[in-house]
Chain A
């Protein structure tokens, strides 16, 4: 059982890390926070590896866990340290580019930003994003419209 769970865990890491990171990057608009939260979500999965139902899509579990960790992160878990403000491998041009994008997207709410980025860039369905964000399909569509309107102002 342990070996099987270990294998499933490794597979979940390799298969879904990108999705979890990008979801949390969209949700937080913060590179370091997204990295930390992704790591923390996988730590939770590792600690629960014997209890989770591996027959169900584990990515949904990771996304909801990551979102909950983000909600509690700064209020109750201020012990978490941000390692860096940026990806250390970036050059100055990349940093400035990221800061511009971040500033622009920072005008959107979390839901608007996540809804727009994940549907328009990542190609997720409205239903998939709605489940991860914890809202309805209709509310998510409205959020995408608002996000586009805000960015054009």
Chain B
């Protein structure tokens, strides 16, 4: 029995799959966060032991200052051991603007250092935009949907033709069934998803953007959702495809 379609699909798959290039170096990740915590914990425990030994060996009437200095310097290595965890401390720094105006700021308005007022997108606005976009895809209005995308996402597809080809194939299986959810629990942070956008999401302000997930119940689980970052860019509300 001739199997032309099968053989053609197999030939195409072979050509494409064999074009994959292995990255030069294998992944060699550092210790996991739990291992880091273990390292830090061990260092802290060691410092505590040193402190106890120093205090135990000192006459009770002796000044406390030298032993405190010893503890302080001993703590430095443990702090450097936790250096890879620096990103986790970043939000603390970033959170400082939310601490309210300093006593030096004028009570009548924002300080100049706060920059221009940001027209942050509301979750409802973002949900409405994504719902309209998804409805357009369901209705086969690909050019209209394309117009809602940010440049970075358009460049990810390359052209409206490529976008239409991919989305039409996908939405044929969606069969009009979808669910829009704003910032669902369990999804990674918007900063993480920004890295999935071509160009790293340059020009998108994560603080003024909203993460929206659309799930499609009729699609197989491994491929049944899209993740979008909705942002205001240059006065327009645009959709950036993160997944």
Contact = CB atoms under 8 A, between A and B. Distances in A.
A68 B70 CA distance: 50
Interface stretch (B13-21, B53-61, B80-88, B202-210): B13-21
Judged by DSSP, the binding face of A is helix
A46 interface: yes
Given A74-B222, A117-B10, A85 B156 contact: yes
A128 to B, nearest CB: 17
Interface stretch (A14-22, A53-61, A131-139): A14-22
Interface string A1-30: 000000001100110011001100110111
Contacts of B135: none
A96 B157 CA distance: 10
A52 interface: no
Contacts of B188: 78-81
B79 interface: no
Interface residues of A, number: 56
Nearest to A71: B222
A105 B221 contact: no
B196 A92 contact: no
Given A74-B222, A116-B10, A84 B169 contact: no
Nearest to A79: B188
A36 B4 CA distance: 32
A148 B3 contact: yes
Contacts of A30: 222-223
Contacts of B18: 22
Given A96-B165, A99-B169, A105 B29 contact: no
26 contacts: A13-B26, A18-B20, A21-B22, A22-B17, A22-B18, A28-B223, A33-B222, A46-B28, A47-B32, A74-B225, A81-B243, A83-B195, A87-B20, A94-B16, A95-B166, A96-B161, A97-B12, A100-B165, A102-B169, A103-B169, A105-B9, A117-B13, A121-B10, A121-B13, A148-B6, A152-B5
Contacts of A101: 9, 12-13, 16
Interface string A96-115: 11111111111000000000
Contact of B27 (A46, A87, A148): A46
A142 interface: no
A30 to B, nearest CB: 6
Interface of A: 9-10, 13-14, 17-18, 21-22, 25-26, 28-30, 33, 35, 39, 42-43, 46-47, 70, 73-75, 78-87, 92, 94-106, 116-117, 120-121, 147-148, 151-152
B115 interface: no
B187 interface: yes
Nearest to B1: A152
B198 interface: yes
Nearest to B22: A17
Contacts of A82: 196, 242-243
Contacts of B162: 92, 95-96, 99
Pick from B17, B225, B241 the residue with the most CB of A within 10 Å.
B17
Contacts of A21: 17, 20, 22
| Nearest 3 A/B pairs, CB to CB | A13-B26, A17-B22, A79-B188
Interface in B213-243: 221-225, 241-243
B122 interface: no
B22 A85 contact: no
Contacts of B146: none
B165 A42 contact: no
A33 B243 CA distance: 11
- Name the residue among A80, A100, A101, A147 with the largest chain B CB count within 10 angstroms: A101
